[in-house]
Amino acid sequence: MSRILIHNAFIVNEGSTKQGSLVMEEGRIAEVLTDGKPLSAPCDEVIDATGCYLLPGIIDDHVHFRDPGFTQKADMLTESRAAAAGGVTSIMDMPNTNPQTTTLEALEEKMKMLDERCLVNHSCYFGATDSNYRLFQELDKRRVCGIKLFMGSSTGNMLVSGMRQLIHVFTAAGDLLIAAHCEDQAIIAKNAALAEKQAVNGVVNVATHSFIRSAKACEASVRLATELAQDTGARLHVLHVSSNRELKYFSTDPLEEKRITAEACIGHLWFQQSDYNRQGALIKVNPAIKSKSDRDHLRAALTEGRIDVIGTDHAPHLLSDKEGGALKAASGMPMIQFSLVAMLELVNQGVLPIELMVEKMCHNPAKLFHIAQRGFIREGYKADLVLVRKGEPWTVSNEQVLSKCGWTPLAGTQFSWRVEKTFVNGHQVFDGKQVDESQRGEALLFER
């Protein structure tokens, strides 16, 4: 493989931004040329990155590629294509597919499919059920990113709610991280019954979704999950934290010292309750988009250190699935293609510095999951990189969407940042206009 020089970029890495260059060779970062370090040998190709920012490739710890079983909505090729165009170079796929990834056979088949179809680097979670905890000890910890636990019902009906079963899951996980969807089902059921009384022609206003799946429901489940983690010593990662009430259960300690961590998703950092008036069911997700105050507290928690990771919960549905109001419309939205530019817009707004954004989207996922040789711009690491540029404003449209579902809740949103190029293992998979499907990503490896 040739030596490729990315010349004269602003390199954002490990808390600093420095002007410099980088050499890729044999799929790895061969040289990082900052602080006056000279080039050691000529390069075969030079990419002029003047005016661009060079970041580690985004690691998204939370995607639903819908494959196998729901490929009318999405599949591994289409969604990894959208990921590459969005600067995402590694993904971790969720188990609520058909068949569910809850047996060793289904896990092996999904990993084989990812190897064959996914354009970016990949792993997948093993889904917890009421009775499969004995299988945890048979999982290959070098290949499986973690255990997905639904403590609130969502797409796929994989709810684990009995206390005895939950204790089994937390006890059996060992060193594997438990990634938990936390919502209290009893509170949700009670709220849904109240909301149904307000139905008009059988439809409950979609804005009621934030009442049904309330902050109280989230807090109750997070409290239980953190208590179980503390009692058993399990590693707990709470996914898509959506309210201020949950934040007190997470510390501001350095990530390396934590056994309980938290993720916020782009949707909860971007949207708020009043957006239901314009977006309707397009922003219906589980847990629900909540108040502006909740959104603002989540944003503040990024800089406080209570939120450790930013993911997408990328979950495509057909537009026809998004009908029926708060009780019937499908929950989930496609976010992966525009996740990076959305977060860069929050950088523009002063919500967080670009160095902290890179920490939450690149460094911390690599640290939290112990991903081998990715997530940082370091010599010898895999050359997973993204070049972004700030320039003339542009407007997102559904025609630009590469996800199979063909729509985005960000349609009509104006951004000033663009993804110029994406590199996966040193291969340029996106050139700013087109995705190259000639190569596949690699399976992520975890150093446990």
pLDDT in tens, 364-381: 999 999 999 999 999 999
Reported as a pLDDT band with limits 50, 70 and 90, residue 158 is confident
* 270 CA to centre of own chain: 14
267 vs 352: CA distance, rounded Å: 16
Q: Are residues 155 and 276 in the same domain?
A: yes
Query: Is 175 among the domain residues?
Result: yes
pLDDT > 80? residue 358:
yes
Residues 210 and 313 in one domain: yes
235 with 136, same domain: the answer is: yes
* Residue 419 included in any domain: yes
338 has a pLDDT exceeding 80 = yes
Looking at the fold, whether 259 and 322 belong to one and the same domain comes out as yes
3 state DSSP class of 301: helix
pLDDT at residue 153 greater than cutoff 80: no
Confidence at residue 161, expressed as pLDDT on a 0 to 100 scale: 84
CA 256 to chain centre: 20
Closest CA to 262 of 364, 121, 371: 364
Confidence of residue 154 (pLDDT cuts 50, 70, 90): low
411 token code pair: 């349609």
Taking the mean position of all CA atoms in its chain, how far away is CA 332? 13
Same domain, 206 and 309: yes
Three-state DSSP at 292 gives helix
SS3 label, residue 61: strand
Angle at 228 between CA 224 and CA 230, to 5 degrees: 115
In a domain, 178, yes or no: yes
Number of domains in the chain: 2
How many CB atoms neighbour CB 431 within 10 A?
Answer: 12
- Other C-beta atoms within 10 Å of 304: how many? 13
pTM of model > 0.95? yes
- Judge whether residue 53 has pLDDT over 90: yes
CB–CB of 106/410 below 8 Å? no
Do 43 and 62 belong to one domain?
Answer: no
444 within domain boundaries: no
Tell me the C-alpha distance between 18 and 35, whole Å. 8
What's residue 126's pLDDT? Answer: 98
Average pLDDT over residues 81-102: 98
Rounded to whole angstroms, the Cα distance separating 247 from 300 reads 10
- Co-location of 117 and 9 in the same domain: no
pLDDT tens string 409-440: 999 999 999 999 999 999 999 999 999 999 99
CA atoms of 144 and 126, how far apart (whole Å): 7
Judgement on whether residues 224 and 335 belong to the same structural domain of the protein: yes
Spatial separation of the C-alpha atoms in residues 235 and 258, rounded to whole Å: 9
Task: Compute the chain's Rg from CA coordinates.
Answer: 21
CATH code at position 345 = 3.20.20.140
Tell me, yes or no, whether 389 and 328 share the same domain: no
Tokens representing residue 391 in the block: 């320039």
Residue 156 has pLDDT above 70, yes or no: no
51 phi/psi in degrees, rounded to 5: 85, -5
- Give tens-digit pLDDT for 274-306: 999 999 999 999 999 999 999 999 999 999 999
**106: its two tokens:** 């289904």
Residues 174, 189, single domain; the answer is yes
Indicate whether 40 and 77 sit together in one domain: no
Burial 362-377 (b: 16+ CB within 10 A, else e): bbbbbbbbebeebbbb
pLDDT score of 217 more than 70? yes
Phi, psi torsion values for 110, nearest 5 degrees: -65, -40
Please check whether residue 403 lies inside any domain of the structure: no
| Residue 155 scores a pLDDT above 70 | no
Contact 148, 159 (CB under 8 A): no
Percentage of the chain beyond pLDDT 90 is: 97
Domain holding 47, by residue range, is 4-55+380-393+415-430
pLDDT of residue 333: 97
CB of 336 closer than 8 Å to CB of 63: yes
Please indicate, yes or no, if residue 440 is contained in any of the structural domains: no
Residue 169 and residue 147 share a domain: yes
CA atoms within 13 A on the CB side of 40: 10
pLDDT of residue 66: 98
Q: To the nearest whole number, what is the mean pLDDT of the chain?
A: 97
pLDDT at 187 over 80: yes
CATH number, position 21: 2.30.40.10
Is residue 247 assigned to a domain? yes
- Looking at the domain assignment, is residue 336 inside a domain? yes
155 or 146, higher pLDDT? 146
Residue 356 scores a pLDDT above 80: yes
- Could you give the count of Cα atoms lying within 13 Å of 341 in the half-sphere of its Cβ? 26
Averaged pLDDT, 58-62: 98
Q: State yes or no: pLDDT of 106 exceeds 70.
A: yes
